[in-house]
Amino acid sequence: MTVDPRLTASSDPGRMTSSRLPILLALVFSSLFPVFSHSNREMWFQDLFPPNTCPINAKTNTFYGIMFDAGSTGTRIHIYTFVQKSPEILPELEGEIFESVKPGLSAYADQPEKGAESVKRLLDMAIDAVPPHLWKKTPVVLKATAGLRLLSEEKAQALLSEVKEVFEESPFLVPEDSVSIMDGSYEGILAWITVNFLTGQLAGHNQHTTGTLDLGGASTQITFLPRFEETLKESPRDFLTSFEMFNSTYKLYTHSYLGFGLKAARLATLGALNTEVADGQMFRSSCLPKQLEAEWHFGGVKYRYGGNKEGETGFKPCYLEVLKVVKGKLHQPDEIRGSSFYAFSYYYDRAADTNLIDYEQGGVLEVRDFERKAKEVCDNMERFSSASPFLCMDLTYITALLKEGFGFRDNTLLQLTKKVNNIETSWTLGATFHLLQSLGITY
């Protein structure tokens, strides 16, 4: 994947003197380069030796980290491989094995054992991927995001404790606190670290970092490194988090908006979020095809929804409906208006679904491209009826979230990215760095 040069606009590293959260990253930020170096590793004699006696591997030490992402719409396993070539140099990230299952854990709110089974199926992959002699040294961690945040404490805990049992029965290293619900601010920071690490923007001292936008099913995150003192002054205090890197403390702006993920926003638009749903109750919207009547399951609840049979449909009434969900609900930092951002998750999926970007390659869009596509889809719903009935609502929500929610300009650039150098742009890599560092596994 190529990175659009327009997206590497310079930014001041924003070093701060205070150290409110002296977490992570001695590993991350002292081992940035070289990151990917497999190209020269294939040697003619490698096939002649078993891997552990091959001369080229004599000094290399491979280790693994397993991170589960229990998202609101699916559970994913990331098995990262690191190689330490000699004790003097720091480890390199060599690759990732990734697999996912649907639905997410929160769909098993009333059947926690079944939820844990879905985790077990993924964990079995790690048994095949990690060599047996390394099982005991390989940590396994699961972090749940917005789906579990929205469940009752009791239901969420039941799921987490079933998963913990699965981990304890596995041959892997199970650290304390290995199964938990992650704080939303970490979700943003760790994704920002992943993206800026993978694009090499954290190397050296004159960093050019890029902000990140993640749109999940139930929550959405915005994270960037402020360049202007104004932003630091004007932001709510809990939107700013410091962490250490290269002996400096960096202060990021990050916030996770719970209930503003794409699927939660569908419910909010329909007026069905956080309400007791009466049996057979029907939720209607001008963002849906007129004649549609259907059912939808989310977070263990069944919803009936449909189009405005008699009333209006199309982009204009839909935008007004969606606007009620976002207007005045989000903090709008001035400085992001002129910046560019990496955007992934549902930003990527919906852009790919409507051919705004190539599904494999990703691409660069302006905010107005989402609006143009939303108009096209909403004003011609019958033409797009074979796609999801929610396509109009989703694109309209993305447009409203970017423009009226965060306050981006029509021409703000978004780099839509799923993978960088074949590694998923997910918070899970940043979380794995933190995990390995905290366990002292690499040194």
Ligand X SMILES: Nc1ccn([C@@H]2O[C@H](COP(=O)(O)OP(=O)(O)O)[C@@H](O)[C@H]2O)c(=O)n1
Q: What radius of gyration, in Å, describes the C-alpha atoms of the chain?
A: 23
Among 99, 244, 349, 366, binds ligand X (CB under 6 A): 349
Among 11, 31, 57, 73, binds ligand X (CB under 6 A): 73
225-249 as b/e: b if 16+ CB within 10 A: bbbeeebbeebeeebbbbbbbbeeb
Residue nearest to Ca ion (CB): 216
184 binds ligand X (CB under 6 A): no
Piece in contact with ligand X (CB under 6 A), picked from 6-14, 144-152, 225-233, 296-304: 144-152
Among ligand X, Ca ion, none, what binds residue 146 when CB lies within 5 to 8 Å by partner kind?
A: ligand X
217 binds ligand X (CB under 6 A): yes
Q: Select 107 or 245, whichever has its Cβ closest to ligand X.
A: 107
- Give me the phi and psi of 207, to 5 degrees please: -70, 145
71 binds Ca ion (CB under 5 A): yes
Q: Select 369 or 394, whichever has its Cβ closest to Ca ion.
A: 394
218 is in an annotated binding site: yes
147 binds ligand X (CB under 6 A): yes
Piece in contact with Ca ion (CB under 5 A), picked from 45-53, 133-141, 209-217, 265-273: 209-217
Among 65, 103, 104, 307, binds ligand X (CB under 6 A): 104
Examine residue 103 and say whether the peptide bond preceding it is cis (omega within 30 degrees of 0). Answer: yes
In the complex, minimum distance from the CB of residue 228 to ligand X, in angstroms, rounded to a whole number: 29
Q: Which of 187, 321, 404, 424 is catalytic?
A: 187
In the complex, minimum distance from the CB of residue 418 to ligand X, in angstroms, rounded to a whole number: 6
219 binds ligand X (CB under 6 A): yes
216 binds Ca ion (CB under 5 A): yes
Among 345, 396, 412, 432, binds ligand X (CB under 6 A): 345
Piece in contact with ligand X (CB under 6 A), picked from 141-149, 164-172, 381-389, 431-439: 141-149
Annotation marks residue 382 as catalytic: no
268 is in an annotated binding site: no
Q: How many of the chain's residues bind Ca ion (CB under 5 A)?
A: 2
Among Ca ion, ligand X, none, what binds residue 255 when CB lies within 5 to 8 Å by partner kind?
A: none
219 is in an annotated binding site: yes
261 binds ligand X (CB under 6 A): yes
In the chain, the amino acid numbered 64 is Y
- 3-state SS record for the chain: CCCCHHHHCCCCCCEECCCCCCCCCHHHHHCCCCCCCHHHCCCCCHHHCCHHHCHHHCCCEEEEEEEEEECCCCEEEEEEEEEECCCCCCCEEEEEEEEEECCCHHHHCCCHHHHHHHHHHHHHHHHHHCCHHHHHHCEEEEEECHHHHCCCHHHHHHHHHHHHHHHHHCCCECCCCCEEECCHHHHHHHHHHHHHHHCCCCCCCCCCCCEEEEECCCEEEEEECCCCHHHHHHCCHHHEEEEEECCEEEEEEEEEEECCCHHHHHHHHHCCCCCCCCCCCEEEECCCCCCCEEEEEECCEEEEEEECCCCCCCHHHHHHHHHHHHCCCCCCCHHHHHCCEEEEEHHHHHHHHCCCCECCCEEEEEHHHHHHHHHHHHCCHHHHCCCCCCHHHHHHHHHHHHHHHCCCCCCCEEEECCEECCEECCHHHHHHHHHHHHHCCCC
157 is in an annotated binding site: no
Tell me the Ramachandran region of residue 97: left when phi exceeds 0, alpha when psi lies from -120 to 50, beta otherwise: beta
In the complex, minimum distance from the CB of residue 170 to ligand X, in angstroms, rounded to a whole number: 21
Piece in contact with Ca ion (CB under 5 A), picked from 21-29, 42-50, 211-219, 264-272: 211-219
299 near 107, Cβ under 8 Å?
A: yes
In the complex, minimum distance from the CB of residue 408 to ligand X, in angstroms, rounded to a whole number: 19
Q: Select 221 or 313, whichever has its Cβ closest to ligand X.
A: 221
In the complex, minimum distance from the CB of residue 71 to Ca ion, in angstroms, rounded to a whole number: 4
In the complex, minimum distance from the CB of residue 223 to Ca ion, in angstroms, rounded to a whole number: 13
The tokens for 345 are 């998750």
26 is in an annotated binding site: no
99 binds ligand X (CB under 6 A): no
Among Ca ion, ligand X, none, what binds residue 14 when CB lies within 5 to 8 Å by partner kind?
A: none
218 binds ligand X (CB under 6 A): yes
Can you give the binding site for Ca ion, defined by CB under 5 A? 71, 216
Annotated binding-site ranges for ATP: 217-221
Active-site residues: which are they?
187
Q: Which positions lie near ligand X, rule CB under 6 A?
A: 69, 71-74, 76, 104, 145-147, 216-219, 261, 344-346, 349, 418, 424, 426
